[in-house]
A = this chain, B = another copy of it.
Amino acid sequence: MDFKVFILGSGAAIPTLQRGTTAHLISCFQRNILIDCGEGTQIQFRRFRLKFQKIDIICISHLHGDHVFGLAGLLSTMQLMGRTSALRIIGPEGLKELISAQLDLVGHGDFFPLDFHILPAGFSGVVYEDKCLAIHAFPLAHRITTFGYRLMEKPNKRRLDKAAFDATGVSVSYIAKLIQGDDITDNEGRVVRSADVTIPGKPAKSYAFCSDTAYTTAILPHIQDVDLLYHEATFTNAFADRAFKTGHSTAAQAASIALKANAKRLILGHFSARYDDEEQHLAEAKVIFENVFAAKDGAVFNI
Chain A interface (Cβ < 8 Å from any Cβ of B): 13-17, 20, 39-40, 42-43, 46-47, 63-66, 68-70, 72-73, 76-77, 80-81, 94, 97-98, 101-102, 105-108, 143-144
Is the pair B102, A98 in contact by a Cβ cutoff of 8 Å? yes
The complex places the Cα of A65 from the Cα of B108 at a distance, in Å, of 10
Residues of B within 8 A of A16 (CB): 46
Chain B residues near A107: list those with CB within 8 A.
143-144
State the CA gap A102–B102 with chains docked (Å).
9
Instruction: Please determine whether A76 and B81 come into contact, CB atoms closer than 8 angstroms.
Output: no
Residues of B within 8 A of A76 (CB): 13, 65-66, 69
Give the number of copies in the complex: 2
- Of B47, B105, B143, the residue contacting A144 (CB under 8 A) is B105
Q: Which 7 A-B pairs have the closest CB atoms?
A: A39-B73, A63-B105, A101-B101, A69-B73, A40-B40, A65-B76, A14-B77
Whether A98 lies near B98 (C-beta < 8 A) is no
Determine how close the nearest CB of chain B comes to the CB of A104; give it in whole angstroms.
9
CA–CA, A144 and B108, complex, Å: 11
Q: Evaluate contact between A72 and B69: CB separation under 8 angstroms.
A: yes
Complex Cα spacing A143 to B98, Å = 23
Output the nearest chain B residue to A21 by Cβ-Cβ distance: B73
Most chain B CB inside 10 Å of its own CB: which residue of A16, A39, A94:
A39
CA distance in complex: A68, B39 (Å)? 12
Contact for A105 among B14, B65, B81, CB less than 8 A: B65
